[in-house]
Structure 1
Amino acid sequence: MCYLYIALSGNSVGRPEASEWSLAGPLRDLGMECRGRVGGVVLFAPKETPTLHLPGGGILLGDLYDEGGRPVNDLVDLQHLSTQSTLRQHLLDHHWGEYLLFQPTEEEVNSTTLMRDPSGGIACVYSLQHGNGFITSDLAIASSLGLHRDRIDWDFVRHSLIYPHMKISRTGLAEISELLPGCVLSMGGKKTSTSMAWSPWRFVSPTGRQSDPITAARMIREVTTSVIHAMAKTDRTVLLELSGGLDSSIVGVCLSNANARVACCTVITPLPGADERSYASQIAERLGIELLQQPLDYADADIDFELPKHSPRPAVWALGRAVARAMDNAAESQGVNSLFSGGGGDTVFCYLRSAAPAADAFRARGLAAGYKAIVNLSRLHGCTVTKAARLALRKLSLNPRAPYKPDYLLLPRTDEISPLELHPWFSAPSNALHGDRERIFDLAGNQMFADATLRAGHRRVRMPLLSQPVMEACLRVPSWMWISGGQNRTVARAAFAARLPQDVLERRSKGTFMNYTFAVYRKNKEAIGRFLLDGHLRSRGLLDPHKLNLFLESPLPARDHSFMRIFDLCMIENWVRNHA
């Protein structure tokens, strides 16, 4: 069950009549109970949402575990920590979980800070004007209390068209922001501000970098297993969304001894490319359970579909909706509390497609290590050592890759537009290695997965590979170590070599829905054209109809994936229609 809550600050939206006292009746009708006051914030949540009271008057909402993966039910032993900031840092250093931490501040009466855990496991959006407003897991709660009404932020929509997969705190709804994972929201008087409490850059520093691949593999195995066991024990019944690829297979074998009832499901399409049953069935066999199979028809990939009310930004596209529907069916049939995914595994396990690992080895370890990494790079990509060396040297000589790439395809061409804001993780240290930059930038993008993973029934969607302990353990392993032996994700393979089926352990290819997605595009081009040309984006002058018609009428060369841009545009148009 997803954890729900709403926290009211000041006079809610600045109207004295909208105080927590006047809203007590409507809150009770929603099943919300008062869990306490922290500074100037009053917290309400259903009885199913766990809370812990902290020394000094703080409240932790959600699940907290110690370093061994044991659930924490009492924090009285932290009374020796002298300040709220010390307590917050202690939790980050010695605990993990999916939680929000509300704390009073020592500096000002009725001021409050709120930290979201680094994995972002609990949703957190807010609207605060001059210290008054709300923070909630679901804008539908605020709307039912009369505290929110959707108004589209068209500047953000334009931003999304150019940067469709960039996560920022600003949302597509006016006056609604999101507290990003690992960040702190400070509320004092009439001012609010945000800052970073947890940064991935700390874990790629030379002083904390792993140097021994055996130690690195053992650390990743132990941490990943501990996290997955802890989550599964909390949820009790889980459905594993199993592709048969390395990442979801690792989650699968870690569930084999978990204290939970486990089911697993894979999706199959009418076209080859995404059929992973030969691999997924071997993981199901290791778990001793049946592999559930959900077919995807072409009609399942809608472009015009209903979204959850008040979803904060465009994130769900046609394929995502089709997979969600399939997994919802399987979850409903199995009666599970949560769904587990291998989402984020490519990034966490450093699946880089550039020459950055070899360039990093040169910079950090010198000529011998650099040459060894070049040989591994050439084997990984099936090219000559000479070409791999040339690519590594070119990577060293160029300016580092920008964290974002604008996309103006099918838009009216205007002067180049900068992003509305940047993700805080984009602020890289001046001496950062190329590979560390690339994987941390990608890690910031992975935070979109929570928005894009549309699941019904308020079931939790767990992405354990994006949990704080797994991210930290993997970031400590340098990029060149992940391509040892000419394989991708080598350290993860070594970590679970004894537990994975040989076919899964050794596979280099990945299942892809590209054939299926292109077939959906080809079969629905006429409907897609009407959807976009008769839509809000066109009427606002945000699409170029001539370019769009020309694109839809033109045949695409083999392996040309530019049609995926059409699905981005449909995703944004569909979100606008749901909120207009």
Structure 2
Amino acid sequence: MRARYLAILATDTEDGRRAAAKARAACRGGSPYSVVVDQPDFVLITDGKAPTIPVGRHEGMVVGRIYSRSGGPPLSKLDGSWIHMIPSSHGAVLMETFWGSYVAFVRSSGRRQISVLRAPFGGLACLVARSGAALLVASDLELLAVAGWRPAGIAWDQVVLHLLARDLRRARTCIAGLEELRGGERLLLAEDRVERDPVWTPWAHAGIASWASDRAAGVERVRHAVLAAVTSTTAEAKHPLLLLSGGLDSSIVAASLRANGRPFTALNLSGHGAIGDEREYARDVARACGAALVEEQWQVAQVDLTRSSPELLPPTPRAPSCRRPTGSPSERQWRRAPTSCSTAAVGTMSSVHSSR
């Protein structure tokens, strides 16, 4: 289950005060939500399923997990010079220095400006909508509705663009009035204006300055980065569960777990036809890594098309962003996996099911 959060910015306006009051009310009466930040112009509530890390005393909050580039488990606090450098850079230093799966809210030093940043490759969704003069930022549509936001209908122009180029991600979604803050982007709210700009871009790492001196050096850099990432993201797991197709991505994760000396269990999901059956490849990888392999099949008949699971809504405007049926085969098979496995590493077969 993904972490959920709702932020209301510009709560010093009439629209913001109304939205904030509704958010606070949603935290009462045994609700899973709690108020994490309550400031005159910024309110944040979460369900507690992701860590929250303060930026300084009152300079903001990071929702999600962040890691040091030198490796190790997720950070539990930001201290030292970071508490000054992050606000003064409008959050850019956070993105340049750390990595992970997070959405950060950073108040600029000495100014009434708040920046919202989303990790370049993070899995934590970041949907953005306006409610009058207030800006709403949330993990999902249901929490936007808690703050009083309602969709204005279907954005048919975006539907057309999506059908023409479904793999080209855009800030605007197919729902009118709803946008997505894409990975690596920053949203700056200052006075009455909202600005969006890319803080992280792959092109900054594709130039000559980033080239390795030779092939061996390049191989070692990639190997070190992958091992460090797998080590960090599975640091809190007692026994990782890997969704293993036997393809390139999941095989690399499997080899990394083995290289790190982490025992793990692999799960393979196959279809009823040859095109969806990758069990032989998964068996080869599991055998090479000395891992137990659990084989299951997709059970399409178990899908209930009359129900939906909004918590599975991906943070993209693609067609699969429509609410998915409850009891999808991958979700059901996941829940049937060995209960001794506490956290999953991700391969190419399915979405991330993890405590990350």
TM-score (norm 2): 0.83
Report the CA distance shift for 1:142/1:261 in structure 2 as closer, same or farther (over 3 A): farther
Pair 1:132–1:262, CA change in 2 (3 A): same
User: How far 1:135 sits from its partner (Å)?
Assistant: 0.6
| Within-5 A mapping of 1:110-259 | 111-129=113-131, 131-149=133-151, 151-256=153-258
Alignment pair present for 1:99 and 2:75: no
Please tell me whether the aligned partners of residues 12 and 18 of structure 1 are also in contact (alpha carbons under 8 angstroms).
no
Q: 2:87 aligns with which of 60, 84, 87?
A: 84
The alpha carbon displacement at 1:268 in A equals 2.6
Per-residue deviation, residues 212-249 of structure 1 (Å, max 9, x unmatched): 11111111111101101111123445431211122211
SS at match of 1:198: coil
The letter for the 1-side match of 2:63 is L
Aligned equivalent of 1:42: 43
Whether the 8 Å CA contact 1:78–1:87 is kept in 2: the answer is no
3-state secondary structure, aligned to 1:20: helix
Deviation of 1:24 (Å): 1.7
Q: Distance in 1 between matches of 2:258 and 2:174?
A: 41
2:63 paired residue number: 61
1:537-575 Cα distance to aligned partner (Å, 9 max, x none): xxxxxxxxxxxxxxxxxxxxxxxxxxxxxxxxxxxxxxx
Gaps of 5+ in 1: 344-448, 463-580
- Distance, in Å, in 2 between the alignment partners of 1:218 and 1:116 is 28
Q: Aligned in 2, Cα 1:83/1:23: closer, same or farther, shift over 3 Å?
A: closer
Moved more, 129-138 or 31-40: 31-40
Q: CA deviation at 1:16?
A: 6.3
Q: 1:148 to 1:261 in 2, by over 3 A?
A: farther
Displacement of 1:143: 2.1
- Shift of the alpha carbon at 1:317? 9.3
Residues 501-512 of structure 1 mapped to structure 2, 5 A cutoff: none
Q: Which has the larger radius of gyration?
A: 1
Note closer, same or farther for the CA distance 1:316–1:306 as it changes in structure 2 (3 Å cut): farther
Residues 1:316 and 2:320 are matched in the alignment: yes
Please name the residue that 1:20 is paired with. Answer: 20
Residues 143, 87 of structure 1: CA spacing in aligned structure 2 closer, same or farther, 3 A cutoff? closer
In the other structure, the counterpart of 1:341 is 346
Q: Give, in whole Å, the separation in 1 of the partners of 2:319 and 2:355.
A: 16
Q: Judging changes above 3 Å, is the alpha-carbon distance between structure 1 residues 235 and 20 closer, same or farther for their aligned structure 2 residues? A: farther
**What is the CA–CA distance in structure 2 between the aligned matches of 1:323 and 1:25, rounded to whole Å?**
31
Rounded Cα–Cα distance in structure 2 between residues aligned with 1:90 and 1:184: 12
- In structure 2, the gaps of 5 or more residues are none
Between the aligned partners of 2:264 and 2:325, the Cα distance in structure 1 is 23
Change (3 A) 1:112 1:39: farther
- 3-state SS of paired residue (2:169): coil
Structure 1 residues 236, 113: closer, same or farther in 2, change over 3 A? farther
SS in 2 for 1:121: coil
Residues 12 and 134 in structure 1, CA contact (< 8 A), matched pair in contact too: no
Mapped to 1, the partners of 2:289 and 2:70 lie a distance apart of 23
Shift of 1:276: 2.5
More strand by share: 2
* Residues 324 and 454, structure 1, Cα contact 8 Å, conserved in 2: no
Change (3 A) 1:342 1:258: same
2-side partners of 1:202 and 1:34: how far apart? 37
Say if 2:53 and 2:62, in contact at 8 Å, map to a contact too: yes
Deviations 1:331-377 (A, max 9, x none): 4432455543334xxxxxxxxxxxxxxxxxxxxxxxxxxxxxxxxxx
* Aligned partner of residue 62 in structure 1, secondary structure: strand
CA RMSD of aligned residues (A): 3.5
User: Residue 93 of structure 1: CA displacement?
Assistant: 3.3
Report the Cα offset of residue 47 of structure 1: 2.9
Taking a change above 3 Å as real, the CA distance of residues 322 and 127 of structure 1, as seen in their structure-2 partners, is closer
Paired position in structure 1 for 2:278: 276
Q: CA deviation at 1:141?
A: 1.8
User: What do residues 404-436 of structure 1 show as CA deviations (whole Å, max 9, x unaligned)?
Assistant: xxxxxxxxxxxxxxxxxxxxxxxxxxxxxxxxx
Q: Which residue of 2 aligns with 1:356?
A: none
Which whole-Å CA distance do the structure 1 matches of 2:16 and 2:41 have between them? Answer: 14
1:156-555 → structure 2 map (5 Å cutoff): 156-256=158-258, 262-296=264-298, 307-309=308-310, 311=313, 313-316=317-320, 325-326=329-330, 328-335=332-339, 336=341, 338-343=343-348, 459-460=353-354
In structure 2, distance between residues paired with 1:265 and 1:323: 18
In structure 2, how many angstroms separate the alpha carbons of the residues matched to 1:216 and 1:36?
43
SS at match of 2:233: helix
CA distance in 1, matches of 2:326, 2:267: 14
Q: 3-state SS of the aligned residue for 2:53? A: strand
Secondary structure in 2 aligned to 1:316? helix
Shift of 1:165: 2.4
| Cα separation, partners in 2 of 1:235 and 1:21, compared to 1, 3 Å | farther
Provide, for residues 449-508 of structure 1, a one-character-per-residue CA deviation record: whole Å limited to 9, x for no partner.
9xxx667xxx4497xxxxxxxxxxxxxxxxxxxxxxxxxxxxxxxxxxxxxxxxxxxxxx
SS at match of 1:161: helix
The SS at the match of 2:242 is strand
Q: Which amino acid aligns with 1:325?
A: P
CA distances 1:88-142 after superposition (whole Å, capped 9, x unpaired): 3433333211112211124742x21011111132110011255403111111122
- Equivalent pair of 2:105/2:116 in contact (CA under 8 Å): yes
Paired-residue identity, %? 21
Aligned twin of 2:77: 74
1:267, 1:126 → 2: CA distance?
34
With normalisation by structure 1, the TM-score equals: 0.53
